[in-house]
Amino acid sequence: MENFFYIIGEAKSAVITESSEVLAFTEAQMGAVDTNELLMVIGNVYGKGHFFPGPEEVVTSIIHEVVRRWDVYQQFDRSQSYCVFITALKKLDGEIAAAPLAIVPTADHQLSQEENNPFYLLLLEALPAFQDTLTQVAYAPDTKLISIIKDATEYHENKGG
């Protein structure tokens, strides 16, 4: 059973396979790092498209640590397969808001880290279940979120529901 993190950013998106070894490592090694600093890195890399001046594994570790700290993740029944959605989207003030968004069961989906499209379709399919969470931040009118909402609307209209 593989679990995934799907990061949806203004500049780029990515899929990362969850690793229990990385979660254990980050808990031991990143415990003293402020969560807001970790979210800032995710925002800079995925929201702004900035180059991270270190190995990709460091960004992967940062994502694991942010998810590990998230209270929703800590309370989630992880005995089933799932995907954690993380956003790095532009707010009304122009800054990037990076945060975990939702956890979605994936048992009925064929997912692979090699291909982003099935994760995007999973996001569109699941969006109505957690769309209220997106109203907690004032997003910019030109944020990628607008196209995601439009795509989700079209997806559900074409699906017949």
* Per-residue pLDDT at 56: 85
pTM > 0.75: yes
* Per-residue pLDDT at 30: 94
Q: CA-to-CA distance for 106 and 83, rounded, in angstroms?
A: 6
DSSP letter string, 68-95: HH-HHHHHS-TTS-EEEEEEEEEBTTS-
Q: What are phi and psi for residue 101, nearest 5 degrees?
A: -110, -50
Q: Is 81 exposed, middle or buried (0-12, 13-18, 19+ CB in 10 A)?
A: middle
Other CB atoms within 10 Å distance of the CB of residue 57: 9
**Is the predicted pLDDT of residue 161 greater than 70, yes or no?**
no
Q: Residue 78 in contact with residue 32, Cβ under 8 Å?
A: no
Q: Going by C-beta distance under 8 Å and a sequence separation of 6 or more, which residues neighbour residue 46?
A: 7, 8, 9, 10, 11, 12, 13, 14, 88, 98
**Is the predicted pLDDT of residue 82 greater than 90, yes or no?**
yes
